[in-house]
Structure 1
Amino acid sequence: MTFYPILKKDEDALCLNHISYFNSKLCHFIINNVSSIEELKKNITPLLKQFNLKKTTLFSEKLNSFNAKKTTSFMEKNSIKLLTLNNPEYPPLLKEISFPPPILFYKGNIKCLTKHCLGVVGPRKASPYGIRVAELFTQECSQAFSIVSGFARGIDYTAHKTCVKNNKETIAVMGVGLDKYYPYSHHTLANEIIESKGLLLSEFPLFIEPSPFHFPLRNRIISGLSKGIIVCEAKTKSGSLITVQHAIDQNREVFAVPGSIFDSNSEGTLHLIQQGAKCTLHPNDIFEEFQMPPHSITTHNTLPLIEKVTQEALTPDESSILSILSKPMHIDSIIAQTSLPMTKVLHSLTCLELKNCIIKNEGNIFTKNHHAL
């Protein structure tokens, strides 16, 4: 195992993280060429010129203004710990990726990292179908894997919450420092993850504001920790596909769960299947790929991702709307053909979508979901 002298002292590691977290190549350049922060301060100008870093003045200011005591004090009070490339507990799979984060902050059960990990990803604005996929695959795969996701709304939240409900380990890879939660509404979830022996993980320094570029950086860690990634659903332009690209670059398996060809939320997963991702209909497909014994609770060849809806489960207004949806239809046409008030149509469409009877597409176009009827 390579030993990096600059990471030996926590204060030096924290300072290095503060000044270079945004550029993993720069961070690795420093740990391979400098043995301490004091040495870096003495040789800052020639080193940065060698790396061709242009904003040397700003870099020097950050280097000299860093307050290690403020950070270490907060970490001690809030049970936040440091994990560096020098630590034997650093995840071996993550160490394999190009320019792995030399410094990680964590809170919770670090033993989650010793199990096989599986990433679960999908959109923030997930459909009821995507939520159902995330729940079922997480519930069953968490029997054998630590489930990794990104703590965002939608699929990420569902994956973490499902693990919490079943008292299984989950790893939340944060897009912010561990002094805050993003989104803040998930602060209760963070506590639940720790209470259920899960782990919060971040490469970002404490006391910095969230930034859009943090989240693609976070995604490479989600895939880097994982043997494979399950894509529950994704549009053609989706943050989930950034994680997928990282997974491909890192030689990880990609499992795509198919959805309706009429649903824009499934366009990305269907395209992945066309490009060679494993078409995944059941958790056992994942266990088979890794030559693991089945851990799945269900024994059917496919999961009941969509439960059949009987006529008795529908209101008269819902039945009226379904009767005219022989083809994709705009909401204005639905209102005109059913002669129902707009408020009733909106309410019924929402209920039908929750029952998986219809699929809402872009532009307020609705399609009947024949699999549920």
Structure 2
Amino acid sequence: MMADKFLIALTQIEGLGPVTLKKLLDLFGSAEAVFRASVFDLREKGVPLKIIELLRDRERLNPDTLVQEIKNEGIETIGFNDLAYPLLLKEIYAPPLVLYWRGNPGFFNKKPVLAAVGSRKISAYAKWVMPEILDSVIKSGVVIVSGLAWGVDGLAHELTLKNNGLAIGVLGSGLAWDNFFPLSNLKLAQEILEKGGLLISEFPPLVPAQPFNFPRRNRIIAGLSEAVLVVEASQKSGALITAACALNENREVMAVPQNVNGANAAGVNRLIKEGARVVTQATDILEFFNIVQAPANPQVQTAAPVSLLAEEKSVYQALSLAPLHIDKIAENCRLEAALVNAVLVKLEVKGLAQNIGNQNYIKL
């Protein structure tokens, strides 16, 4: 599958964005007509001088050469007007007019689709809560989209593969293997393809990762999805850009609540304040997609088991899904820290609590 070679060339003109290019295509009727239009033709159609100057870049572009370079990398393309182009993505403002892809194009329009995004500096809490929430979602047939970055993105893809799910990775670089970013997730990307998944980029194969590429990538992640789940995010996290894109395109935004003192809490908790759907278990997501299925993992107990001793019940009830430091737990249940420490050991043995590091505990 290969998009129109003239459209591929036009999308590689620096400064010519998808909105402007779409207007030119509508004005001239085809990508070839835009590519071949003379300065006189452009002026006669009322094209602004600034755009005419940008279009001078056509002189350095050979459409046939570009297509051959793409084929040499084993990459395929799809154009905005192709029937297989993702319908959800087509609905957004400024959709990419050309997508580069590897893998299974049958995913382009498969539903339901959930984006799972979050911090690159993943916390121990996120490592624990993501499988608790996503395993059942993935097993229910929900396609998982993420950005193949470090941290939450990478774990979302790993969980998808582990549960034999359907994975789509969206890159902020070109799809040439020599340019892949981040290199540490190259093996993960190749495993996505081996297991029938899909890799997508808006960028030509040899484009390296640049900071300004990632907001563009994030709009594609949101655009491909019916809902975006933010697992954790600081105030400046790129995951919040994805959430903002989702809101702008009338997609559902979901968020996993965090410990208010956590480094990756501020952004996600702000989303919840602003009305994001709170997700604490798989059924919160499955209900949105109208999937009636019991989660694979049992729901977390909210009441203390009756077999616990008084101080064990007190400590257990002071715990939550969000990590709490032992000092905070002691404060909450009004017991000495030494006693709380001993009780927590007993609760761990009973499978009711977990030490996730640095004396932080969560309820199981």
* TM-score tier (shorter): 0.7 to 0.9
Q: TM-score, normalised by structure 2?
A: 0.77
Cα distance in structure 2, aligned partners of 1:12 and 1:69 = 9
Tell me which of 35, 55, 59 is aligned to 1:60: 55
In the alignment, which residue of structure 2 is the partner of 1:74?
Answer: 69
Residues 9 and 257 of structure 1, relative CA distance in 2, 3 Å threshold = closer
After TM superposition, which residue ranges in structure 1, 4 or more long, deviate above 6 angstroms? none
In the alignment, which residue of structure 2 is the partner of 1:145?
Answer: 142
Give SS of 2:218's match: helix
Residue type of the partner of 1:17? T
Residues 274 and 9 of structure 1, relative CA distance in 2, 3 Å threshold = closer
Q: TM-score, normalised by structure 1?
A: 0.76
In the alignment, which residue of structure 1 is the partner of 2:175?
Answer: 178
In the alignment, which residue of structure 1 is the partner of 2:312?
Answer: none
In the alignment, which residue of structure 1 is the partner of 2:314?
Answer: none
Residues 293 and 327 of structure 1, relative CA distance in 2, 3 Å threshold = closer
Residue type of the partner of 2:362? H
Q: CA deviation at 1:357?
A: 4.1
1:165 and 2:162 are equivalent in the alignment: yes
Cα distance in structure 2, aligned partners of 1:9 and 1:326 = 60
1:241 and 2:236 are equivalent in the alignment: no
- 8 Å contact 2:174–2:204 — kept in the other structure? yes
1:133 and 2:129 are equivalent in the alignment: yes
Give SS of 1:200's match: strand
Cα distance in structure 1, aligned partners of 2:232 and 2:138 = 19
- 8 Å contact 2:11–2:18 — kept in the other structure? no
Cα distance in structure 2, aligned partners of 1:44 and 1:20 = 18
Give SS of 1:107's match: strand
Cα distance in structure 2, aligned partners of 1:160 and 1:21 = 33
Residues 55 and 91 of structure 1, relative CA distance in 2, 3 Å threshold = closer
In the alignment, which residue of structure 1 is the partner of 2:263?
Answer: 264
In the alignment, which residue of structure 2 is the partner of 1:29?
Answer: 23
- 8 Å contact 1:17–1:205 — kept in the other structure? no
Cα distance in structure 1, aligned partners of 2:291 and 2:258 = 26
- 8 Å contact 1:130–1:155 — kept in the other structure? yes
In the alignment, which residue of structure 1 is the partner of 2:6?
Answer: 12
Residue type of the partner of 1:232? V
Residues 40 and 150 of structure 1, relative CA distance in 2, 3 Å threshold = same
Cα distance in structure 2, aligned partners of 1:294 and 1:271 = 30
Q: Give the percent of matched residue pairs that are identical in Structure 1 and Structure 2.
A: 34
Q: CA deviation at 1:291?
A: 2.1
Q: CA deviation at 1:207?
A: 2.2
Residues 239 and 42 of structure 1, relative CA distance in 2, 3 Å threshold = same
Residues 276 and 146 of structure 1, relative CA distance in 2, 3 Å threshold = same
User: Pairwise CA RMSD of aligned residues?
Assistant: 3.0
Cα distance in structure 2, aligned partners of 1:135 and 1:51 = 53
Q: Which residues of structure 1 form unaligned runs of 5+? A: 1-7, 304-323, 329-353, 359-367
Give SS of 2:327's match: coil
Q: Deviations over 1:213-248 (max 9, x none)?
A: 110011111111111011100111211000000000
